[in-house]
Amino acid sequence: MGYESPVLEHSLQAVREHYQKELQNLREAGLFKEERTIHTPQGAEIEVEYPAGAAPRHLINLCSNNYLGLSSHPEVVAAARRGLDLRGYGMSSVRFICGTQDIHRELERKLTALLGTEDTILFPSCMDANAGVFEALLGEADVMIADRLVHASMVDGMRLCRAVQDTYKHSDLAHLEEKLQEHQDKRFRMVITDGVFSMDGDLAKLDQIVALAERYHAMVFVDDSHATGFMGKTGRGTHEQKGVLGRIDVITTTLGKALGGASGGCVSGRAELVEMCRQRARPYLFSNTVAPVIVAGALKVLDLIGSTTERRDKLEQNTTYWRRLLTEAGFDLKPGESPIVPVMLYNAKLAQDVARDLFAEGIYVVGFFFPVVARGQARIRTQLSAAHEKHHLGRAIEGFVKVGKKYDILGKGRQQIVERYGQ
């Protein structure tokens, strides 16, 4: 490499050795993430190359966030292509300088209508939205009270904010009420929660959270990324499902899951709060505007889901059907109503082995274990899509049953599985 200074070369060598050792530790702990290469568009069926260099295999995909099956929809692709032709490839600008096109404003208006709020602004991702929103709205005289299982993006955003950080036990409304009472001396209080929690697929008790927030004069913030587009009778999200449409102060969500699966996110809610984000949120001010191609695709997605509930209805039916198949086969599931269906295995190695064997059976799933989920709560998180047909799920359950029998986990609960495989 030609470093002239032996001191520099020695330092670099020490740095490289340090990180090589850390990476090796990750491998030995079974925590090294390997990316599998997909050779097709996203869909219910994909072709996956794994390990690297192997011939791509045809698999049923049960682990994407493609909830409405629109990630590769021909009309969405066509609309994105038209967007490229009409509005170009990139804006080379942040929003407030020269990065706002008419289509950005149109998408914001349509998202506002979908979510039932007063205003919306786009961000490059929901991760960016969550990183910027708290710091833009709250200060050291305020408090953020977050559910302890909120997504990492909200934790990161809270850390960037100078307001007091507090938490309540997951979905424990009594504990939340204690915290709201404790913080009545603060200027503003904000309760922070996912709408649908990404690990277990459970829904936040938004009706009760809103009732508490109104009683104790607190704002409510919801990241509804795993719900927008399909939760609730018309797909507006968890707040519609829980009957509190119009009563959430700030909603963030993503365009990277049900709403097309490309990228992009937004902050939506009370007009003043959204405008403050437009004026102050750092990821909004200092990061490139969402590319026109993505905006055009997302506009078509909103058109498709706005005219009919067919897709969210099918997702709901698929979810009910898949749960029934797994339950009848004897798998241990977390209860829930969202299309996130965790198959509980409790033991990390078991989760990895089952995922590997399912891959061999033509089913693409990923095992999750500590530290991604709590220790002793390893699982395979299956996710349904409106793109799944009955034959996909029928084929998938065959594979699951075959592998389940191999590891003798059918009809077994946590205690029996842990007794056999450890925790």
Partner 1 sequence: MTSKRLIEVPLPDDAEPTPEDLELLETTLQAIVGLRFSGSRAWEMVEQALEDEGWKVRTRLMWVAEARKGREYEQAAGRTRDEAFAQLHELTQMDEVPGVP
Closer to partner 1 at the Cβ: 64 or 268?
64
Determine if residue 88 is left, alpha or beta; phi over 0 gives left, psi from -120 to 50 gives alpha, anything else beta: left
CB of 100 to partner 1, least distance (A): 29
Contact predicate 156/129, CB 8 Å: no
Look up residue 165 and give its two tokens.
Answer: 């950080």
CB of 141 to partner 1, least distance (A): 14
Closer to partner 1 at the Cβ: 170 or 278?
170
What are residue 337's phi and psi, to 5 degrees? -120, 0
CB of 373 to partner 1, least distance (A): 6
Give the interface with partner 1 as residue ranges (CB under 8 A). Answer: 65, 146, 148-152, 155, 158, 164-167, 197-199, 368, 370-374, 381
Cβ contacts of 37 within 8 Å, gap of 6 or more = 48, 49, 50, 52, 56
CB of 179 to partner 1, least distance (A): 10
Contact predicate 203/238, CB 8 Å: yes
Rounded CA separation 226/173 (Å): 21
Give, in order, the Cα–Cα distances in Å from 410 to each of 43, 139, 302, 375: 29, 52, 41, 22
CB of 411 to partner 1, least distance (A): 27
Closer to partner 1 at the Cβ: 129 or 150?
150
Closer to partner 1 at the Cβ: 79 or 340?
340
Question: Among candidates 149, 155, 222, 219, which has minimal Cα distance to 186?
Answer: 219
Closer to partner 1 at the Cβ: 155 or 173?
155
Closer to partner 1 at the Cβ: 302 or 373?
373
User: Which are the catalytic amino acids?
Assistant: 198, 226, 257
CB of 371 to partner 1, least distance (A): 6
Radius of gyration, alpha carbons of the chain: 23
Question: Among candidates 163, 176, 114, 137, which has minimal Cα distance to 284?
Answer: 137
Cβ contacts of 69 within 8 Å, gap of 6 or more = 43, 44, 311, 385, 386, 387, 388
Contact predicate 57/358, CB 8 Å: no
Residue 147 CA, distance from chain mean position: 16
